[in-house]
Amino acid sequence: MKTPVTALLLIFWTALAFAQAGRPKAAQDTAQGKRINIIYGGNFTKDEALRPGASIFSKDTRQVQFEHQGADLWCDYALLYQKENRLEAIGNVRLKQGDSIVMTGGFLEYDGNSKQAKAFEKVRLTNRSSVLTTDTLLFDRESQEAFYEHHGKIVDSVNTLTSRVGRYYLGPKKYQFQDSVRIQNPDYVLESTRLDYYTVSKNAYMYGPSRVTGEDYMMYCERGFYDTRAEQGYGIRNTEIHYNNRIIEGDSVYFDKATAFASATNNIVVTDTLNNGVIRAHYAEVHREKDSVFATRRAVSISLVEQDSLYMHGDTLMVTGKPDARILRAYHNAKFYKTDLSGKCDSIHFSQATGITQLLKRPILWNLENQMTGDTIYLLSDMETDKLDSLKVLGNAFIISEDTVGLRGYNQAKGKDLFGKFRENELKTVDLIANTEVLYYMYDDDQQLVGIDKTVCSKIRLELDQSEIQEITFFTNPDGTLYPEEDLPEGQQKLEGFIWRGPERIRSREDLFDADDNNLVLPRIRGVNQPMDQQESEPETEDLPAAKARRPKPRPRPSAP
C-alpha cells in the first residue's frame, strides 16, 4: 500500500522525538547531525517481508533526494535503513559534494555513520580537473579519499591514465596508481607499476619500474619524477635515458625535451651506441641540438681500439659532432692509457674524421719502454684499418729508454722533430730531423758492453723491436764517438734537455686518476629514501635533485712550469 510520504515522515519524526526524549541533549544533537536527511521522497512504501527495516522511496515526477553533512544524493529508487543510518540508492545515482565533486553510477551504498559511499556500475567521479571512471568505487567522505581495485581510467585536460588499482586524495587532488599504470599522451606514453599523479600540476611521481617513451627518446627509472605537460623529469634509481644515439645512466638523471638537454649526477655512464664509446663520470650533460656531451668529476672516455680498450681522462671531457665526425677533447690534467700506449699533457684533441690525436702543452708519450716528449705530439690512425699508423713529435723532440741490458743508464735521441711509424701498435721506426743527437749503449752478442755511442748529425733513423734499438742509421756528415764506459766524460751521460719521467708513467687505468679524483665526495641525492613530492605542498629549496644541480666548478690546477 502506498502512503503519502509527507504524513509518514511526520509520524516517523514524532516517534523519533519521543524515542530521544530521554537522551541527553548533546547525544541527541550528535545523532541528529549524523542522520541521513530526506529532501524529497517521491513515492513511499515499506515491505518488511522483503526489505525489513527499510523505508522504500521511488521517483515520481523527479528523482528522490537525500542530504547528509554537505553532500546531496539523487536516485530513482532508494532503501533507507533509518535505524542503521544507511542508504541503498538504485538507478541513475548522483552524489554531489560541494561545488566540485560529483559521483554517478547505477547503484550506491551509503553509510551515514562512517560517511562511506560504495558505487557500482559505470561509476564516474568528476571534479574540476579530471574525470575518473571505473566499475566499482569506494568514496570515503571522512578522509576525502576514493578507491578502486578493478581497473579505472582518469581523463584530464592533458592525459588519459589507467591502472588496475587507484586511490584519489581529494584534498591535494592527487591520484595514487598501482599495477599496470599507463599515461597516454599525444606525444608520449608513460608506464609504471606505481605512480602518484597531481591533477592540477600534471606532475607524476614514479615509485616502481617505469618507462616514458616519446617520439625520439625513452626514459626508464625505478624512482623518479615527470612533468607531463613540459615533458621533463628525472630518475633517481636505476635510471637510463635513450637520447639521440646515446644512453645516459646515473644515480640521478634529468631530462628536458624542450631544451633538448639531459644531465646526470653520480656514477654516470654515457654510451655512444653508434661508435661503441663510453664516458664514465660523476657529472655529465648531453646537448642534443649541439650533439655534444660534457663530463667532469673523475671523467674517463673508453673506446675500443684493435680489440683493446683506450681510456682517456681529464678534469673535463667534451664530445661534439655528428656520429661519423665526433671530436673528443680532454683538458686540464689530460691522460690516456691502453695496454701498449699511454701519455699525459694539459689537453688532448681527437678527431674521428681525420683519425688524428693531438697532445698539447708539455706532452709525454710512452710506447712500451720508450718515453717521448716534445712541444706537441700527434698520433695518426689509419682510417681504413682504424689502427695506429704513425707519430709526430714537433719541437724539441726527445726519445728515451732505459738501458735494460746492463742497467747502466739511458738510451737517448733528440732532434728538432720526430716522425715515427707503428706496426701492430708497436713503434718500429723513428726518424729524428735537424740538430739530432744520440747516446746509445752498445752490446755484443754475449751482452757485453762494447761502448757508448754519442753522435751528432742532421738526421737519425732508429729501428726498434720491443722498444729496444736494433739499428741506427746516421745521415749527412755524422760526427760521433764510441766511448768505453770509463772514458765517457763526466756529465756527458745525458743529452742536454734530458728529463726522465718514468715514475709518472701510466701503467694501468687506475693511474689515470689522482688523489683529488679518488677522494671525491659525491652529493646526496634527495628523494631516494623519502617521498619525492614535497614540492607539491612546500616551497622549492636549493636542495634540488642532484641531476638538476648547477654544473660543478672546475677544481684549480697549478700552472705549468
What amino acid occupies position 15?
A
For 231-271, the pLDDT digits (tens) are 999 999 999 999 878 899 999 999 999 998 999 999 999 99
What average pLDDT does the segment 445-453 reach?
Answer: 88
Lowest mean pLDDT segment, chosen from 23-27, 91-95, 383-387, 416-420: 23-27
What average pLDDT does the segment 64-77 reach?
Answer: 96
Higher-confidence residue: 139 or 557? 139
What amino acid occupies position 52?
P
What average pLDDT does the segment 470-483 reach?
Answer: 86
pLDDT of residue 5: 44
For the chain, state the CA radius of gyration. 40
pLDDT of residue 101: 93
> Does 14 score more than 90 pLDDT?
no
Which of 12, 91, 9, 103 minimizes the C-alpha distance to 58? 91
What average pLDDT does the segment 532-543 reach?
Answer: 51
> Does 187 score more than 90 pLDDT?
yes
> Does 338 score more than 80 pLDDT?
yes
Cell triple for residue 386? 682504424
Q: Which of the four pLDDT bands, split at 50, 70 and 90, describes residue 556?
A: very low
What average pLDDT does the segment 268-292 reach?
Answer: 89
Lowest mean pLDDT segment, chosen from 190-194, 342-346, 396-400, 547-551: 547-551
pLDDT of residue 13: 39
Which of 149, 5, 125, 17 minimizes the C-alpha distance to 71? 125
Q: Which of the four pLDDT bands, split at 50, 70 and 90, describes residue 60?
A: very high
Distance in angstroms between the alpha carbons of the first and the last residue of the chain: 110
**For residue 59, what are the CA distances in angstroms to 76, 199, 288, 357, 394?**
5, 36, 64, 88, 100
What average pLDDT does the segment 502-506 reach?
Answer: 92
The strand ranges marked E within 160-245 are 160-163, 165-169, 174-185, 188-198, 203-206, 210-214, 217-221, 223-227, 232-237, 239-243
Mean pLDDT for all residues in the chain: 86
Q: Which of the four pLDDT bands, split at 50, 70 and 90, describes residue 33?
A: low
- What burial class does residue 83 get, using C-beta atoms within 10 Å of its C-beta: 0-12 exposed, 13-18 middle, 19+ buried? exposed
Lowest mean pLDDT segment, chosen from 248-252, 443-447, 524-528: 524-528
Q: Which of the four pLDDT bands, split at 50, 70 and 90, describes residue 465?
A: confident
CB atoms within 10 A of CB 185: 17
Separation CA 220–CA 306 (nearest Å) = 33
What average pLDDT does the segment 411-439 reach?
Answer: 90
pLDDT of residue 289: 84
Overall pTM surpassing 0.85 (yes/no): no
Cell triple for residue 251? 644515480
In total, the chain counts a number of residues equal to: 561
Separation CA 69–CA 101 (nearest Å) = 14
Which of 291, 439, 431, 428 minimizes the C-alpha distance to 370? 428
DSSP assignment letter at 518: H
Q: Which of the four pLDDT bands, split at 50, 70 and 90, describes residue 309?
A: confident
pLDDT of residue 2: 44
Share of the chain above pLDDT 90, in %: 60
> Does 22 score more than 80 pLDDT?
no
**For residue 80, what are the CA distances in angstroms to 37, 304, 513?**
10, 78, 78
- What burial class does residue 448 get, using C-beta atoms within 10 Å of its C-beta: 0-12 exposed, 13-18 middle, 19+ buried? exposed
Cell triple for residue 293? 656531451
Share of the chain above pLDDT 70, in %: 88
Separation CA 161–CA 159 (nearest Å) = 6
Separation CA 213–CA 384 (nearest Å) = 38
Question: Which residues, at least 6 apart from 73, have a Cβ–Cβ distance to it below 8 Å?
Answer: 65, 66, 67, 87, 89, 93, 94, 95, 96, 108, 110
Yes or no: say if 391 and 381 are a contact pair by the CB < 8 Å rule. no
For 77-111, the pLDDT digits (tens) are 999 999 999 999 999 999 999 888 999 999 999 99
Yes or no: say if 482 and 450 are a contact pair by the CB < 8 Å rule. yes
Q: Which of the four pLDDT bands, split at 50, 70 and 90, describes residue 117?
A: very high
What average pLDDT does the segment 538-559 reach?
Answer: 45
> Does 386 score more than 50 pLDDT?
yes
Q: Which of the four pLDDT bands, split at 50, 70 and 90, describes residue 469?
A: confident
- What burial class does residue 533 get, using C-beta atoms within 10 Å of its C-beta: 0-12 exposed, 13-18 middle, 19+ buried? buried
What average pLDDT does the segment 145-151 reach?
Answer: 94
pLDDT of residue 548: 54
Separation CA 518–CA 485 (nearest Å) = 45
